[in-house]
């Protein structure tokens, strides 16, 4: 991410050397079309970002949202969080502005993502992956 020659793929977060600068946001056609499909589905389930009380009762579309963001489990979530940091520091290495972060979180469909393969904690709260801090937080909301 320190090398200005490289872009970070917006879908798989791999670094790649763009063939056409400025316009190329994905490392491959595969990622580009996957991201396209992801975006299409995304608009259906997008709620206000930063809103931990995810107001989506439809389980199946929530699952889709999860895979869209590339977060099937906490490990993948960690990867995504690292990728965020590298995205935020790409190109000029300048620190991320609040606007950058908000934009990114919108892309990821919000800051908090329910972790499906973890059980609620002792208080019955549900685990969410915090995309900003890169850790798991608990919230009483589960929809
Ligand atoms: Zn890619």
Task: Please give the distance, rounded to the nearest whole angstrom, from the Cα atom of residue 70 to the centre of ligand 1.
Answer: 12
Classify 117 as helix, strand or coil.
coil
Q: Is residue 1 part of a domain?
A: no
pLDDT at residue 86, rounded to an integer = 66
pLDDT, tens only, 19-60: 766 678 889 889 999 988 887 765 554 444 444 444 444 444
Range of the domain at 51: 7-139
How many structural domains compose the chain?
1
Q: In the chain, which stretches have pLDDT less than 70?
A: 1-4, 20-22, 41-96, 142-143
pLDDT at residue 31, as a whole number: 92
Q: Is residue 2 part of a domain?
A: no
Radius of gyration of the chain (CA): 16
Give the residue among 142, 65, 57, 143 at the shortest CA–CA distance from 110: 65
Say if 87 falls within a structural domain: yes
Whether residue 60 lies inside any domain: the answer is: yes
Q: Give me ligand 1 centre to Cα 121, in Å.
A: 35
Residue 39: predicted pLDDT: 77
Cα–Cα distance measured from residue 143 to residue 139, given in angstroms and rounded to the nearest whole number: 10
pLDDT value of position 30? 92
79 inside domain: yes
Cα 11 to ligand 1 centroid, rounded to whole Å: 5
- Give the separation between CA 93 and CA 40, rounded to whole angstroms: 30
Residue 29, in any domain of the structure: yes
């Amino acid at each position: 991410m320190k090398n200005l020659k490289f872009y970070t793929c917006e879908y798989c977060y791999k670094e790649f050397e763009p063939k056409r600068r400025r316009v190329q946001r994905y490392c491959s056609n595969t990622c580009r079309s996957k991201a396209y499909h992801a975006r299409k589905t995304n608009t259906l389930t997008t709620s206000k970002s930063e809103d931990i009380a995810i107001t989506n009762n439809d389980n199946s579309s929530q699952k889709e949202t999860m895979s869209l963001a590339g977060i099937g489990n906490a490990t993948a979530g960690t990867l995504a969080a690292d990728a965020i940091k590298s995205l935020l520091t790409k190109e000029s290495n300048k620190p991320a502005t609040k606007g950058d972060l908000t934009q990114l979180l919108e892309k990821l469909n919000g800051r908090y993502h329910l972790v499906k393969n973890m059980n609620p904690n002792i208080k019955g709260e549900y685990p969410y992956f915090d995309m900003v801090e890169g850790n798991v937080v608990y919230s009483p909301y589960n929809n």
